[in-house]
A and B are shown apart, each in its own frame.
Chain A
Amino acid sequence: MDFNLTEQQQMFKNSVKKFAEQELTPLVDTMDKQNNFPHEIRPKLAAMNLYGIPFDPKYGGAGADHASLALALEEFAKILAAMAIHLQLQHVVNDRFNKLATEAQKKQWMPAICEAKKVGCFGFTEPDTGSNPKMIKTVAKEVKDGYIINGAKRFITNAPWADVMCVFAKLEGDISLFFVETNRKGFSTGPKMDKLGLRGTDLSDVFFEDVHVPKDHLMGGKGGKFDALKDAMTIGKLCLSAQCVGLMQASLEEAIKYSMHRMHFDEPIFNLQAIHWLLAEMASRLEAARWLTYRAAFLKDQGQDTIKDMAITKLFVTSTAVDVCRWGMQVHGAYGISKEYKIERLFRDAKMYELLEGTSEIQRELIVKRLPR
Chain B
Amino acid sequence: MDFKFSDEQLKLRKEFFDVCKDLEKIKPKGYVGLESNFDTDEGWEYHLHCAKIFAQKGWLALDWPVEYGGSGTMMDRVFLAEARGYYDVPGADVFGVEMLAPTILGAGNDDIKRRFLPGIASADVMWCELWSEPNAGSDLASLTTTAIRNGDEYVINGQKTWSTGAHRAHWAFAVVRTSPNAEKKHQGLTFLLFDMKTPGVTVKPLLYMEGGHYYNEVFLDDVHVPVNNVVGEENKGWAVTQMLAGFERSNLGAIMCMQRQLEDLVKYCNETKMAGKPLSGNPLVRNRLAQAACDLEAARCLAYRIADAQSKHEMAPFDASAVKITSGELQARVVHMVTDLFGPYGQVKISKWAKLNGFFETWYQHQFRLNIAMGTNEIQRNIIAWNGLSLPRMK
Contact = CB atoms under 8 A, between A and B. Distances in A.
Whether chain B is bound by chain A comes out as: yes
A264 B132 CA distance: 13
Contact of B339 (A273, A337, A338, A351): A351
B272 to A, nearest CB: 11
A348 B372 contact: no
A52 B194 CA distance: 63
Contact of A352 (B274, B347, B372, B377): B347
Nearest to A355: B344
A125 B382 CA distance: 47
A252 B134 CA distance: 22
Given A132-B275, A264-B137, A272 B209 contact: no
Contacts of A344: 209, 365
B207 interface: yes
Contact of A337 (B138, B369, B377, B394): B369
B228 interface: no
Chain A interface size, under 10 / 10 to 19 / 20 to 34 / 35 or more:
35 or more
Contacts of A155: 344
Interface stretch (B88-96, B297-305, B348-356): B348-356
A275 B209 CA distance: 23
Interface in B157-206: 161-162, 206
Interface residues of B, number: 41
A274 B365 contact: no
Contacts of B208: 337-339
A135 B138 CA distance: 52
B311 interface: no
A339 B340 contact: no
Contacts of A337: 208-209, 365, 368-369, 372
Contact of B348 (A132, A194, A274, A351): A194
Contacts of B142: 264-266
B139 A196 contact: no
B347 A263 contact: no
A348 B275 contact: no
A208 B33 CA distance: 40
Nearest to B382: A274
Contacts of B294: none
Nearest to B134: A335
B351 A194 contact: yes
A360 interface: yes
A138 to B, nearest CB: 16
Interface string B337-349: 0011001100111
Interface stretch (A79-87, A243-251, A289-297, A325-333): A325-333
B245 interface: no
Contacts of B378: 274, 330
B275 A333 contact: no
Interface string B361-375: 100110011011100
Contact of A354 (B162, B340, B353, B395): B340
Nearest to A191: B351
Contacts of A125: 344
Contacts of B377: 330
B348 A334 contact: no
B211 A336 contact: no
Nearest to B369: A337
A5 interface: no
Contact of B138 (A130, A333, A354): A333
Contact of B211 (A129, A334, A339): A339
A334 B132 contact: yes
A193 B361 CA distance: 13
Given A134-B275, A333-B376, A355 B365 contact: no
A143 B208 CA distance: 55
3 nearest A-B pairs in the assembled complex, by CB-CB distance: A344-B209, A196-B347, A194-B349
Interface of B: 132, 135, 137-139, 142, 161-162, 206-209, 211, 274-275, 284, 336, 339-340, 343-344, 347-349, 351, 353, 361, 364-365, 368-369, 371-373, 376-378, 381-382, 394-395
9 contacts: A131-B343, A194-B348, A194-B351, A330-B377, A340-B206, A348-B209, A348-B365, A354-B340, A360-B340
Interface of A: 125, 129-132, 134-135, 154-155, 193-197, 263-266, 272-274, 322, 326, 329-330, 333-334, 336-340, 344-345, 347-348, 351-352, 354-355, 359-361
